[in-house]
Amino acid sequence: MTENYSATAIPASDDESKLITSAKSNDEEAFGILYKRYLPTIYWYVKSLSPPYSEKDDLVQEGVIGFIKAIRTYDKTYASFRTYASLCVKRSIISALRKYKRQSGFALPIERTLPPEAIFPETEVIEREAGRLRYNEFIKSLSEFERQTLTLYLSGMSYADMADKLNCSQKSIDNAITRTKLKIKRQSKNSP
């Protein structure tokens, strides 16, 4: 995994709302562009919390899940996407840190918000294609059950409700989410 924590301020692009709409409709290229733009901020936010080194990859993975949820649930009526995505990323990472704190006694740093200027550098065509390919690889690496579980998880559904909907046990749901997170972690380590 490359640790690029810088977040360069640039004006929001006019096409971002189109990218979000396309990504919501499972357009891999649009998702890849957004993913590439926002990944540096996820890294930056994780680093700003000064977690134990052993937890950084897991927290980045939680941030990516928060970002995917932001794309899926964004409604421009209430806030800009940058603000909404920052909040979803923050909540996902803080939630994971709290869980880690309960398990290990780690002292949680003061919660911070992503700075409003934390908008990300524009990517070039090659980087966009690389992001799209990473997304495709990730989706292909998931089983049908993992894809269904991830979709329900990102919608905010509880494990019990997911188990009812998919006609399986909560343990099966937990295992599928765990496998999905491991696949995200592996992909993050292998991405440039």
What would the two tokens of residue 181 be?
Answer: 């997170």
123-140 per-position pLDDT tens digit = 344 455 566 667 777 778
Q: What is the pLDDT of residue 167?
A: 94
Residue 137 in any domain: the answer is no
Residue 129 in any domain: the answer is no
Residue 150 in any domain: the answer is yes
Residue 135 in any domain: the answer is no
E-assigned strands of 72-164? none
48-92 per-position pLDDT tens digit = 877 777 778 888 888 889 898 888 888 777 778 888 888 888 888
Half-sphere exposure of 112 (CA within 13 A, CB side): 16
- pTM score: 0.52
Task: Give one word for 50, left, alpha or beta, with left for phi > 0 and alpha for psi -120 to 50.
Answer: left
Task: Give one word for 11, left, alpha or beta, with left for phi > 0 and alpha for psi -120 to 50.
Answer: beta
How many domains is the chain built from? Answer: 2
Return the residue matching tokens 């700075």.
115
Q: What mean pLDDT comes out for the span 32-57? A: 83
Domain that holds residue 170: 142-192
CATH number for the domain including 52?
1.10.1740.10
Integer Cα distance of 46 and 54 in angstroms: 12
